[in-house]
A and B are shown apart, each in its own frame.
Chain A
């Protein structure tokens, strides 16, 4: 199957000042990613590892410093952002933003938020068609039409989240990028929204890229997971495989660190210290070295590349295969 999305060697560097000299912050560094049609790919990693930056690069909200993005057979990373925003492909890739409070215009009603988005992205619709589409979207996200006349401050957090989702799906995208869409919500509301997202995906056949730092959420709704560490993808595998046989020591630490009652009492690898700086990192040194329980001389001499370690699993670690044996001893 041809992938819906294929990112190659994506890179985003931010210039920063370090004392007197200028340096580069490697927010996303040399990332390859593929996404099959209809697939839900989870993106996990600790805060500051570049999940949002990667999501925004793929969503074409920011321009990459380097690398390509192929979407639906077309190279889209080369068109500049303004041109892309007015191209027909723009409606195909949509974003559900993190905080429903600030992602909705406080001066617009829910109806206007959604219909303004439709009008801007799908030119040539009559007002009646726009309204019909918006109403269909509200129905799909389970928001009663009576609430569509309200302003955001008159809606609950969960209702606002639904409006944000309705806005994104109203233009019938093929790819939905969700950057921690539920992290600002109460736990009970979170579950409802996650369920809704699952239903929507089945109904509309949209592909998801789902950003979260919550492994349990990822496990619940994703088919495949990419684990990020300091701007790089360190492991990518189908969800079940990743949780059952994590190949990268960072993935193991992440899983061990998440509160999962089923794993209580198992031997865990706790992470020591904090991540090294993403500013001007040593290109020949594994980003995880120093914090990694397996650190060996080759880890500081050569950057491990992402390589296949199983039929559908890849990891960027020199010891990716020998690691499980080591933990058992």
Chain B
């Protein structure tokens, strides 16, 4: 398609491009994305080693030190049961990220199957899948997620499932549009001419080329997924106390908004904001990186 990178320089470029070097170069030119990548690394690190570096246990209570403000002993203060907010925020990273990633992987995978089928075959397959998407979209999505968890019971698995289901329409739509756009390109026609079956054309010639767009979609969607999973816990339809989870912590701390113990809800809330911001910036950055038109 449009290709402004076609210049004498590219013609002289080495035959096998070092994609990582190119990626690093592009990152350096984009400070915000670079910051988002650093933040992502931090979040992933906390998810991996959080419990090991937390100074206190997630559920260790200390009746003598309840609702203490931030101090050297408790960086983020303590909650009503005397639990260390810093430790709980750090330890919760793993669960929150895992729920979001799980949901995104699930909707990514299902969207990558249903979307291309609708986009390539059209006809009744497109109609059926399109109706399914429309039906999902007809609900207020968060209410739909609440309904699913309420019906299936609030376990981590069901939160992931509910989050995946309400985000599925976006993946299906993106994949459908991207495949539809390529279906009639002459390179696909050439593959058809060579006797490739529709499934091989989809799997080998089309779907790999829509992955960049899908990855951007997933990255932008991760922030949503985190908010959604935490939101369910916040209203009591998600993970149950005393499990450390940012949504529950905000919910538990919310009772102290007026009495002034701001640290109980501010720090877990801040963690949520940072995570969402990180994924959104990352998605925007990825979109710019993968879009050849944005390159000079």
Could you list which residues of chain A lie within 8 angstroms of chain B, going by C-beta atoms? 59, 61, 85-86, 90, 94-95, 97-99, 101-107, 116-117, 120-121, 146-147, 149-150, 153-157, 167
Contact = CB atoms under 8 A, between A and B. Distances in A.
Contacts of B10: 153-154
A23 B222 CA distance: 49
Nearest to B13: A154
Nearest to B7: A156
Contact of A59 (B191, B193, B209): B193
A98 B187 contact: no
B189 interface: yes
A110 B276 CA distance: 41
A157 B187 CA distance: 15
Interface residues of B, number: 26
Q: Which of B189, B191, B192 gathers most chain A CB within 10 Å? A: B189
Nearest to A117: B194
Given A103-B186, A149-B16, A120 B195 contact: yes
B138 interface: no
A95 B190 CA distance: 8
A105 B186 contact: no
A63 to B, nearest CB: 13
Contact of B209 (A90, A101, A106): A106
A307 B296 CA distance: 57
Nearest to A147: B15
Given A121-B195, A153-B3, 10 more contacts: A61-B193, A90-B193, A97-B187, A102-B186, A103-B185, A105-B205, A116-B191, A153-B10, A154-B10, A156-B6
B59 interface: no
Nearest to B210: A107
A97 B3 contact: no
A218 to B, nearest CB: 22
Q: Which of A90, A107, A153, A155 gathers most chain B CB within 10 Å? A: A107
Contacts of B5: 153
Nearest to A104: B187
B195 A157 contact: no
A121 B5 CA distance: 33
B209 A61 contact: no
Contacts of B208: 107
Contact of B190 (A97, A101, A153, A154): A97
A139 to B, nearest CB: 17
B255 interface: no
Interface in B189-225: 189-196, 204-205, 208-209
A101 B3 contact: yes
A121 B187 CA distance: 15
A90 B194 contact: yes
B72 interface: no
A102 B191 CA distance: 12
B15 A85 contact: no
A329 to B, nearest CB: 48
Nearest to B205: A105
Contacts of A121: 194-195
Contacts of A103: 185-187, 189-190
Contacts of B196: 120
B15 A146 contact: yes
6 nearest A-B residue pairs (beta carbon): A120-B194, A97-B186, A103-B186, A85-B195, A86-B195, A149-B15
Nearest to A122: B194
Contact of A85 (B185, B193, B204): B193
Contacts of B6: 153, 156-157
27 contacts: A85-B192, A85-B195, A90-B193, A90-B194, A98-B186, A102-B1, A103-B185, A103-B186, A103-B190, A105-B205, A106-B187, A106-B209, A107-B208, A107-B209, A117-B194, A120-B191, A120-B194, A121-B194, A147-B15, A149-B15, A153-B5, A153-B292, A154-B11, A154-B13, A154-B17, A156-B11, A157-B6
A61 B192 CA distance: 8
Interface in B69-115: none
Contact of A117 (B15, B190, B292): B190
Interface string B270-296: 000000000000000000000010000
Contacts of B185: 102-103
A99 B186 contact: yes
Contacts of A102: 1, 185-187
Nearest to B292: A153
A179 to B, nearest CB: 9
Contacts of A97: 186-187, 189-190
A107 B204 CA distance: 9
Interface in B4-22: 5-6, 10-11, 13, 15-17
A104 B3 CA distance: 13
A97 B184 CA distance: 12
Q: Which of B13, B193, B195 gathers most chain A CB within 10 Å? A: B193
Contacts of A95: 190, 193
Given A120-B194, A120-B195, A101 B189 contact: no
Contacts of A156: 6, 11
